[in-house]
Amino acid sequence: MLHNPLIPRRPESDRGWMRDAACLDEDPELFFPLTELINNPQVDHARAVCRRCAVLLHCRFWAIENGEDAGIWGATTAAQRRTIHRALLDEQGADTE
């Protein structure tokens, strides 16, 4: 299981952080654009909401740990999360060598 040491460890089932999500008042469709290209205005809008969210890092790493493969989570696209995931795995591999 991946974990960023900057984020306090919480059980996977603990979604309490979601209560503080900035997207609660937004249309959920905003976070699931048809394409996740960075220059897509919908992606930009969703990421702007995320950037003012108090739980951005919790959200981002929850999405990475849980393999969320669609939508904008923690101001990242699915492709960006896959890149972070691979980097964390590489880092963990380097730590055990």
How near is the Cβ of 9 to ligand SF4 at its closest, in Å? 18
Cβ-based nearer residue to ligand SF4, 57 or 88: 57
Residues lying near ligand SF4 in the complex (CB under 6 A) are found at 21-23, 31, 49-50, 53, 55-56, 59, 73-75
Question: Could you identify the residue written with the tokens 């919908």?
Answer: 42
- Report, in Å, the least distance between residue 95 CB and ligand SF4: 27
Q: Partners of 73 in the beta sheet?
A: 76
Give the span between the Cα atoms of 72 and 11, in whole angstroms.
Answer: 22
Closest distance of CB 2 from ligand SF4, Å:
17
Q: Hey, what are 78's tokens?
A: 């699915």
